[in-house]
């Protein structure tokens, strides 16, 4: 479906892949962003917007739809009246290594929830004090987590340790914290890719991707 001369919405993506098209706010002008969000709510009943600046969130707030806002994560979800997301089932465990990784972990959480999963969360459980991870993991295991999303912004060892302790898939998400050499998440990305534990990885700050793939995995683990 064409929107203005600048966008072409892929209306079948959710049917084809199980994951709806999500609107990345960065790189779009405000009129483009608002136009696309309005079109998606109109055609699909829901628009999920990520990486939105405060200005973008303001502009979206003026649209006449129901909303779920998470400014710390730069996200907003807008619904048409009566929209009802499906419950695909499955449980996702989301962990962050430090308070600075909060926003990305929350992005993964919201996406997985919007895709119909239950999510359990533990923030600030990095490996400089490994006992915090052990405690969080005990709680998560009791929730029968199907897949873990582990967000870490500096040395990136959290997903490695986790993958050495559990028997379900682990997705590592590097976060763009850290200064100096290989800062802004590159150090964490490299460490996760070099990990000796079996681990899959997404781009730096890509909470959306991690949440979406986690939902796909969690869904499967409950049976189709």
Window 102-161: residues binding its own copies (CB under 8 A): 102, 121-130, 132, 146, 153-157, 160-161
- Residue 57 interacts with its own copies (CB under 8 A)? no
Residues 6+ apart with CB under 8 A from 65: 41, 78, 79, 80
For its own copies, which residue of 54, 64, 81, 223 counts as binding (CB under 8 A)?
223
Please work out the total of residues on this chain that contact its own copies, with binding judged by CB under 8 A.
93
The smaller minimum CB distance to its own copies, of residues 76 and 170, is found at 170
The smaller minimum CB distance to its own copies, of residues 66 and 191, is found at 191
- What the block records as the tokens of 204 is 């730096």
The smaller minimum CB distance to its own copies, of residues 66 and 135, is found at 135
Axis-axis angle for helices 30-44, 54-61 (nearest 10): 50
Q: CA–CA distance from 84 to each of 37, 73, 146, 191 (Å)?
A: 17, 23, 24, 40
Min dist. Cβ of residue 180 to its own copies (A): 3
Residues constituting the chain: 224
For its own copies, which residue of 94, 140, 150, 213 counts as binding (CB under 8 A)?
213
> How many whole angstroms separate alpha carbon 138 and alpha carbon 79?
36
The smaller minimum CB distance to its own copies, of residues 76 and 191, is found at 191
DSSP 63: S
**CB-CB contact of 151 with 143 (8 Å):** no
Min dist. Cβ of residue 134 to its own copies (A): 10
- What the block records as the tokens of 207 is 């909470």
The smaller minimum CB distance to its own copies, of residues 24 and 63, is found at 24
The smaller minimum CB distance to its own copies, of residues 36 and 77, is found at 36
For its own copies, which residue of 24, 30, 63, 85 counts as binding (CB under 8 A)?
24
- Residue 212 interacts with its own copies (CB under 8 A)? yes
Sign of the CA dihedral 206, 208, 211, 216? negative
- What the block records as the tokens of 122 is 């533990």
Q: What are φ and ψ of residue 145, in 5° steps?
A: -70, 135
For its own copies, which residue of 53, 72, 87, 139 counts as binding (CB under 8 A)?
72
For its own copies, which residue of 74, 93, 174, 207 counts as binding (CB under 8 A)?
174
For its own copies, which residue of 98, 107, 114, 117 counts as binding (CB under 8 A)?
98
């Amino acid at each position: 479906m064409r929107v203005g001369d600048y966008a072409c919405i892929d209306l079948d993506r959710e049917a084809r892949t199980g994951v709806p098209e999500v609107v990345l706010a960065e790189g779009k002008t405000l009129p483009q962003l608002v136009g696309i969000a309005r079109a998606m709510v109109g055609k699909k009943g829901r628009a999920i917007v990520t990486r939105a600046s405060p200005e973008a969130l303001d502009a979206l707030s003026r649209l006449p739809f129901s909303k779920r806002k998470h400014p710390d994560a730069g996200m907003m979800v807008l619904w048409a009246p009566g929209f009802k997301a499906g419950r695909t089932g499955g449980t996702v465990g989301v962990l962050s290594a430090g308070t600075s990784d909060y926003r990305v972990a929350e992005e993964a959480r919201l996406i997985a929830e919007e895709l119909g999963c239950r999510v359990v969360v533990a923030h600030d459980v990095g490996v400089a004090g490994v006992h915090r991870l052990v405690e969080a993991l005990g709680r998560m295991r009791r929730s029968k987590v199907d897949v873990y999303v582990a967000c870490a912004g500096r040395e990136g060892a959290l997903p490695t340790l986790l993958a050495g302790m559990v028997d379900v898939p682990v997705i590592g998400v590097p976060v763009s914290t850290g200064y100096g050499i290989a800062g802004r998440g590159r150090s964490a990305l490299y460490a996760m890719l070099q990990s000796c534990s079996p681990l899959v990885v997404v781009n730096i700050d890509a909470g959306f991707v991690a949440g979406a793939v986690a939902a796909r995995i969690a869904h499967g683990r409950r049976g189709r």
